[in-house]
Amino acid sequence: MKAWFAKYWKWLAVAALLIAVSAAWSFLPFGEWIKGFIGWVEKRGPLGVVVFAAIYAMATVLFLPGSLLTIAAGLVFGLLIGTLAASAGSIMGASCAFLIGRYFARRSIEAMARRDEKFRAIDEAIGREGWKIVALLRLSPLIPFNASNYFYGITAIKFWHYVLASWVGMLPGTVLYVYLGTIGKAGLGSGDKARSPFEYVFLGVGLVATIVVTVIVTRLAKKALKKTGATKQGQED
């Protein structure tokens, strides 16, 4: 049982998150806040995308969970624009945290990193392989996303290599969460017409395909990380 939970806890967490979001939407003022925010952003057009990305970046720097905002991007903008907005916000936030870690809080972060055996292994792997390790870690993170942004700032990787590797590595997960929001928007309905059963089947098939691709990519990343030495026995899950 423990082995099964250790293997699938991330996907259980996604399911729990969706249940929590649904409950919050139905029973708490949080739902009205989100609806108000969605309405405000939608009325701003292109400016709304910029504002959303800026809020996302700020949340990333402040260690606030980005998963809810990524789902909200799908609710507000749909799949394509939502992915662009969430991706832009996450990479801006990750870049700001990286620069803070490199130039403003380096000593404090280095002190914490020295006590973490996992990070030392990652740091050594980045020193050998560079941006490849960062991209793989974004696909299959060994340390929490918000914290990792600061930790990468004290590694040897160059800033623009970090930005590109992070953007590529975060994209599959971003698409998955935005798609979840897109389906939520479809379930809420736009108020102008009812969706046909075929449209719901299409959305469901797309969700399953997105999840399958994300799982496959994550497993491939884990295997690649193990070969590079960035992970040690017992650290993969």
Asked if residues 169 and 138 have their Cβ atoms less than 8 Å apart, the reply is yes
Residues 6+ apart with CB under 8 A from 230: 121, 122, 125, 126, 133, 136, 137, 142
Is a pLDDT exceeding 50 seen at residue 191?
no
Cα–chain center distance at 11: 14
Question: How far apart (Å, rounded) are the C-alpha atoms in residues 52 and 37?
Answer: 10
Instruction: Report which residue type is found at 132.
Output: K
Ramachandran angles phi, psi of 54, nearest 5°: -65, -40
pLDDT of residue 40: 79
Structure tokens at 228: 């590079």
The structure's pTM equals 0.72
Neighbouring C-beta atoms of residue 209, cutoff 10 Å: 11
Asked if residues 70 and 53 have their Cβ atoms less than 8 Å apart, the reply is no
Tens-place pLDDT, residues 6-44: 555 555 665 565 556 555 555 555 556 666 777 777 788
Tens-place pLDDT, residues 121-148: 788 888 888 888 888 888 876 667 888 8
Tens-place pLDDT, residues 63-119: 887 888 898 898 888 889 999 999 999 999 999 999 999 999 888 888 887 777 778
pLDDT of residue 57: 95
Q: Residue 234: pLDDT band by 50, 70, 90 thresholds?
A: very low
pLDDT of residue 167: 94
